[in-house]
Amino acid sequence: MRFAVLVFPGTWSDGDMQHVLRNVMHQEADLVWHRETDLSRYDAIVVPGGFSYGDYLRCGAIARFSPVMEAVKREAERGKLVFGSCNGFQILCEAGLLPGALMRNNVMQFRCQPQFLRVETANTPFTNAANPGDVVEMPISHGEGNYYVDPETLARLKAEDRIVFRYCDEQGNVTLESNPNGSLDNIAGVLNEGRNVLGMMPHPERASEALLGGTDGLLIWTSMLRAMDLPMLTR
């Protein structure tokens, strides 16, 4: 499987993403500069975290105008898998590939910590290796992760089984105390209507090696390979 890992001015999780995809999952993964206009040679697209364009205006608000985003939209419309984490989630929302917006954390603090997540659905190309209700742990690292949609959109996300992860405690309880940023309904990740675009605030690339403290992030990559019916080779 060949991954495009997008790089904008200010991106900093690109190297981590490429390392995990190449050296842990043993797949092809290229760093693709934001001025690229053709992503047709790739099987999947990853939009990593960071501070694209310094997070000026709003997180992801400038990156969504980069030439590569038109290519991302084309490939998403063709059904290719698109995954965005942290700033990548913010960019996908700003570009209209996902509903909603990411606002300032309600605690008005940057939160960088391990975080428990409850898998809400396995009916996705990104979580088919899990079961609904599974609790996983991945790091978060953001100041603007407070997810919001209007009531009508929230109802639709629920009805269409498009909420993929919720913040929870270690036992899987979705509580106010387990919500690190004030995100509506404890939402940590959502899908598009076509179910081939996922955005989430946590960083699975930082939880993909036991050496770094955990491997729960492998869920994302393993599921993507399974969805493409490719071998899952991890070291």
Catalytic residue among 75, 142, 144, 203: 203
Question: Is 86 one of the annotated active-site residues of the chain?
Answer: yes
Task: Kindly report the backbone phi and psi dihedral angles of residue 146, in degrees, each rounded to the nearest multiple of 5, phi listed first.
Answer: -80, 95
User: Where do the H-state alpha helices sit in the chain?
Assistant: 14-19, 67-77, 87-94, 151-159, 218-227
Exactly one of 75, 94, 120, 205 is catalytic; which is it?
205
Active site residue 205: yes
Count the alpha carbons within 13 Å of 101 in the hemisphere toward its beta carbon. 6
Residue 26 contacts by C-beta under 8 Å, 6 or more apart in sequence? 233, 234, 235
Catalytic residue among 59, 86, 93, 168: 86
Burial of 35 (0-12, 13-18, 19+ CB in 10 A): exposed
142 noted as active-site residue: no
Taking the C-alpha atoms of residue 112 and residue 130, their distance in angstroms, rounded to an integer, is: 25
The residues annotated as belonging to the active site are: 86, 203, 205
